Amino acid sequence: MLSSLLDLHSINLINFLFVQLVVIIVVLGSLIATIERYLPTAVCQTFRYGKHAHKGPQDRLISLLEVPKSWFKHFYVFAAAWSTAAFYLMLNAYFAGNVTPSYVIDFLDIMGTTKRTVKTTPTETMVAITLLTIQCWRRFYETFFVQVFSSKLKMNLSAYLVGYIHYFGSVVVILSQAEGFVRTDGSLLPYRFELSPRIACWIAVFVYAWRYQFQSNLILASLRKDRSGNVITQKHSVPKGGYFELVSSPHMFFEIVMYTALYAIIARNTSAAYVLVWVISNQTMNSWLTHQWYRENFKDYPSTRRALIPYVL
């Protein structure tokens, strides 16, 4: 029993979690893209949701596990609170000069093992947590005050839970190998902000993506509102303007760009790559499904638009 617990403690749970998400999205996504017609209804219905949900006969059990798509709001409440808590811990350590509480170190040891070492500087950690927190709060604002969710669309409970896992894991990854958050006998040295050209460049990339993802979501929301901002329909229509002239899902493209920037800022963090691969896999699959849906439902859909990456994919 004791040896089993020790073995479990030696596993990097946060890496394991993201690897499982990547495997699931890649395997199921590949099956959906190639042999969907031969797959059980339960698999298709579980994987697909929203406007590109599975059509035809429904699996009764899977239907019982579906929740309204508007529940997306819930995990942005969690994400905003969770990232803010991490932001507070960062301020407490780097600016107030306080030692990180032992229960936080214990928790990070459970998630990232006791073999964790410092890989990122306080500056890198501060920038990464700040940018992620800003993103979480903006998405919180969008889902509650901008987006218009269809009352008829649903998603599988698993997709709902993945939202929590993503933001939970992303925050833990940033802190898990950060100075001041790894078990050590030494005390935290006085903090000095050192913004390098590399970090400044990636902050600029993140802000650009952040701004145009917001613009893309505003365009999507405007399709269901009048000029006064009143909701007039829940129907889907073809978005126009901004980066929608180039790709079907610019908001997903910029999600990848933002997480690429976050990865570049904390690149020495060995767990950060798992988050990036997960985001790329997830957004690529969802953008492909969305692109296919637009092409199938709108005969005049612009043929020059790509699914995700302008002029490429």
User: Which residues of the chain are under the pLDDT cut of 70?
Assistant: 1-9, 185-190
Question: Per DSSP, which regions of the chain are E strands?
Answer: 66-68, 154-156
Instruction: For residues 49 and 27, give the distance between their C-alpha atoms in angstroms, rounded to a whole number.
Output: 17
Residue 3, pLDDT score: 44
Query: What pLDDT digit, counting tens, does each position of 76-126 carry?
Result: 999 999 999 999 999 999 988 888 999 999 999 999 999 999 999 999 999
Percent of the chain with pLDDT over 90: 83
- The predicted model scores a pTM of 0.94
The burial class, CB within 10 Å (0-12 / 13-18 / 19+), for 2 is exposed
Given this model, what pLDDT does residue 51 score? 86
Backbone angles phi, psi at 149, to 5 degrees: -90, 135
- pLDDT tens-digit profile of 248-281? 999 999 999 999 999 999 999 999 999 999 999 9
Report pLDDT for 206: 98
- Give the pLDDT score at 44: 93
- In this structure, the strands spanning 154-156 and 66-68 are antiparallel
